[in-house]
Amino acid sequence: MSDKERAQAEEGATRCGFVALVGAPNAGKSTLVNQLVGTKVSIVSHKVQTTRALVRGLVIENGAQVVFVDTPGIFPPKRRLDRAMVSTAWSGATDADVIALLIDARKGLDEANVAILDKLAEAPRRKILLLNKIDLVRRETLLALAQEATARVGFDRVFMVSALTGDGVRDVVAYLADEMPAGPWLYPADDVSDLPLRVLAAEITREKLFARLHDELPYASTVETEKWETRKDGSVRIEQTIYVERETQKRIVIGKGGQTVKQISTEARKEISEIIDAEAHLFLFVKVRENWADDPERYREMGLDFPKS
Ligand SMILES: Nc1nc2c(ncn2[C@@H]2O[C@H](COP(=O)(O)OP(=O)(O)OP(=O)(O)O)[C@@H](O)[C@H]2O)c(=O)[nH]1
């Protein structure tokens, strides 16, 4: 935060609001939030539907605090867990001051994007369109896509961005900062995310787990931080449990002689240490928890509502 911004905050000339990022799985929402905030707050993966809970990224620009809500990918729900994710995504969107729809420009208006556009057309909110992955798509294609999408939904603005390279992203932030309503900042100025560190640390381990075992594990596997202890020397002892659904999956995660879980732990520990800016000692346990996807308690821990059916 600059001195000017600090002064604005003190004078009370501040603005603050919520921006919901919606889009089909893999549109690039997590990558965009990370690019906006400049720190890794959301977990990026090649596998779809990695984002489960609402993750907020905070950006301060021109006296405004913009709170980004990174919603789970919106897709036709089948299972209970899927329905919880989708309903959390839409409720995040309807509470926001601005809804930003992110579309993977390579995909164009495929079935998933058309369904989202139709639903968005009904939402009584300001909406903007972000055509993402412009590093991979020709300009003529982008223009045609922008026209097609705006014919379906009254977007206030269309931006062309690359969440990966950061191209065009600052323009989006500047625009949104101007759009935020007057009001005090809701979060401390130096925070980048309100996601508790223990949740973030669990997400990092989950990312490493999937990077290694995405073919062998169902995405229903989960990681929870059970213990977080700061020691006298400033280092942190973290205990996490990886929950899987079956004994066979447990064996896969542990690997021969414990090799696999050890590698996951090493990778996660490195990244967690960087983020907390302290030495981390990470201890991973693997447990089988059958039918966890039907257990309301697990949903609460992930910040999701438990759908009744
Ligand atoms: N080339 C390119 N790749 C991108 C861009 N933005 C995102 N990606 C890639 O697209 C993939 C999906 O990105 P994510 O940010 O995980 O997508 P998401 O929308 O958050 O996905 P869910 O969490 O499943 O909803 C990752 O492999 C990213 O590296 C971009 O602008 N250009």
Residue nearest to atom 1 of ligand 1 (CA): 133
- Which pLDDT value is given to residue 295? 72
Nearest CA to ligand 1 atom 12: 26
> Sign of dihedral through CA atoms 135, 139, 140, 145?
positive
Q: Is 25 in the pocket of ligand 1 (CB under 6 A)?
A: yes
Choices 3.40.50.300, 3.30.10.20, 3.40.50.12780, 1.10.1040.10: CATH for 3-179: 3.40.50.300
Give residue-wise pLDDT tens across range 242-271.
998 888 899 999 999 999 999 999 999 999
Q: Is 44 in the pocket of ligand 1 (CB under 6 A)?
A: yes
- Residue 40 among known ligand-binding residues: no
Determine the atom of ligand 1 nearest the C-alpha atom of 162. Answer: 31
Calculate how far, in angstroms, residue 18's C-alpha sits from the geometric centre of ligand 1: 21
**pLDDT class for 184, splitting at 50, 70, 90?**
confident
| pLDDT tens, position by position, 76-85 | 555 565 566 5
Q: Mutation test of ligand 1: which of 21, 32, 44 has the most ligand atoms closer than 8 Å to its C-beta? A: 44
Query: Mean pLDDT throughout 103-124?
Result: 88
pTM: 0.65
Model pLDDT, residue 257: 92
For the cut 60, the answer to whether the pLDDT of residue 161 exceeds it is: yes
Please give the pLDDT value at position 48. 42
The predicted structure's pLDDT at residue 298: 67
- pLDDT, one tens digit per residue, over 28-65 is 988 898 888 775 555 554 444 444 445 567 888 888 98
Q: Tokens standing for 254?
A: 């542990």
Residue minimizing CA distance to atom 28 of ligand 1: 28
For residues 66 and 19, is the Cβ–Cβ distance under 8 A?
yes
The answer, yes or no, to whether any atom of ligand 1 lies below 6 A from the CB of 50, is yes
| Cβ pair 218, 245 in contact under 8 A | yes
Q: For the chain, give the mean pLDDT.
A: 81
Say yes or no: CB of residue 57 within 6 Å of ligand 1: no
Ligand 1 atom index nearest CA of 167: 31
Secondary-structure class of domain 197-301 per CATH: alpha beta
- For the chain, where do the domains classified as CATH 3.40.50.300 start and end? 3-179
Of residues 217 and 184, which shows the higher confidence score? 184
Residue nearest to atom 26 of ligand 1 (CA): 46
- pLDDT (mean) for 165-178: 95
Q: Determine the atom of ligand 1 nearest the C-alpha atom of 44.
A: 16
The whole-number pLDDT of residue 145 equals: 95
ipTM value: 0.96
Determine if ligand 1 sits within 6 Å of the CB of residue 35.
no
pLDDT of residue 53: 45
The response to whether 135 counts as a known ligand-binding position is: yes
**What percentage of the chain carries pLDDT values higher than 70?**
73
Distance 104 CA to ligand 1 centre (A): 8
CB of 135 closer than 6 A to ligand 1? yes
Average pLDDT over residues 215-236: 82
Residues of the chain with CATH 3.30.300.20: 197-301
